[in-house]
Chain A
């Protein structure tokens, strides 16, 4: 039997509320399928399963809040293990329903091809049984966005309210509750950040290093690449910086890991990238296997994940398993950022402003774009020497951007 438990989506998560099961007993689960929606301090998150099997039992009722690690469902593995005789009788009555669902799906997909709609908007539309094929989109290239669906829902809700019976009213109310859950309050995010950062400051003895890196080569390389590209395909400096961090961690792996009473170095380099929210607070999506991704792939990831992070539309796997974090302020802001480590990680890299400065080089003074990079390290796990080696490697990689761009 496979046990499915309330997952932890970061050191700051203590519990989660099951909002909705997406699967029912007898359903086949494939790797990566979404099994449930769970409300956390970071908003409504789609929870994925990374094992295959058939749902045996759902042990939690919708609307219940449970601590991380609570058993939520039991899955039967596909290969063998048929000891539970009851299961075959559980599945058979469900079979017609499964077939019915399969028959409905193709028609939905046909509809999707004709109408341009964002995944989030589509989901809200489907959840609330809104026929989006008749809605005029206001998003890019006429795409239907969340706002359009909500407007339609608000419009249709007004006249229908007068005629609904009490039990229908209760039913109609549930999507509204879900919508409110989707966007966590600023206070909830603040509480989540506060919990993680207090834990970090309480438990992790930080050391801080700083290096100024000459970005002339990197900026010229980006400029050259971008001059040949349409605006949708252009690279931000952040994509190259993430790539350079991944390459440097390959050389100095001690900073890529977690502290579990001792340093546990991780093989995978999963980079958490801090996305700040306009209303305050942060969300930290994780770029898996960053060292194996090209600069273009990293940029595509940023284009995809930043808007979704800001609209609280990330999946559980996209928020977990980071092995290191990058906080990048971007151009025009403060010069330097000294980060607080996100436990149980052991390092955070801070990219500040890129500004032109006079630089003495070979007895000459030139004007160069300079980037302020900082490293906060967990002194229990590593010493300043390791951190210094990392920043030196980072500098080396950023001097040869064409090599980083080749991978």
Chain B
């Protein structure tokens, strides 16, 4: 086995072992980013199917800052056509987990 492949398999094993841990980490990044934009809100209390922007009163500019924060902190690409998949906590978590291949 060459080195990159070995690395990949080690990483993938590691990720599998830390499935729960990773999900919690992503959730923490999401809450943290929302907190930074809307400090007076409690994003942890968001319902799974609640519209995040409406519930926390986030405008177009801050919505873009939120996407920037997520892509930088989680080191992923979020194309504009995928913005629709980030509207609720349920959709967003599913989308981010898919992106991080958890």
Contacts and interface: CB of A to CB of B under 8 A. Distances in A.
Interface of A: 140-141, 223, 226-227, 230-232, 234, 236-238, 276, 278-279, 302, 306-307, 330-333
A238 B60 contact: yes
8 contacts: A140-B72, A141-B72, A227-B79, A227-B80, A230-B77, A231-B68, A330-B59, A330-B60
A301 B100 CA distance: 32
A306 B61 contact: yes
A331 B60 contact: yes
A273 to B, nearest CB: 11
Given A140-B72, A231-B78, A236 B64 contact: yes
Given A236-B64, A302-B61, A231 B40 contact: no
B2 interface: no
The main secondary structure of chain B at its interface with chain A is helix
B91 interface: no
B14 to A, nearest CB: 24
Contacts of B93: none
Contacts of B57: 278
B53 interface: yes
B61 A231 contact: no
B34 to A, nearest CB: 13
A302 B59 CA distance: 13
B67 interface: yes
Contacts of A238: 60-61
A238 B60 CA distance: 9
A223 B80 CA distance: 8
Interface residues of B, number: 22
B23 to A, nearest CB: 22
B85 interface: no
Given A227-B81, A231-B71, A278 B64 contact: no
A226 B80 contact: yes
B54 interface: yes
Nearest to B32: A138
A253 B67 CA distance: 38
Interface of B: 38-40, 53-54, 57, 59-61, 64-65, 67-69, 71-73, 77-81
Given A238-B60, A278-B39, 4 more contacts: A227-B81, A232-B72, A236-B64, A333-B59
A140 to B, nearest CB: 6
B40 A236 contact: no
Contacts of A302: 61
B80 A236 contact: no
Nearest to A222: B80
A236 B69 contact: no
Contacts of B77: 230-231
A278 B40 CA distance: 9
A236 B68 contact: no
A232 B72 CA distance: 9
B60 A279 contact: no
A369 to B, nearest CB: 14
A234 B54 contact: no
Contacts of A331: 60
A401 B82 CA distance: 23
Contacts of A307: 65
Nearest to B79: A227
A279 B80 contact: no
A331 B51 CA distance: 14
Contacts of B71: 231
A279 B40 CA distance: 9
A234 B60 contact: no
A333 B59 CA distance: 9
A279 B79 CA distance: 31
Contacts of A332: 53-54, 60
A278 B38 contact: yes
B7 to A, nearest CB: 25
A138 to B, nearest CB: 9
Identify the 8 closest CB pairs spanning chains A and B, nearest first: A330-B60, A226-B80, A330-B59, A231-B71, A231-B68, A306-B61, A331-B60, A231-B67
Contacts of B61: 236, 238, 302, 306, 330
Contacts of A333: 59
Contacts of A237: 60
A397 B28 CA distance: 44
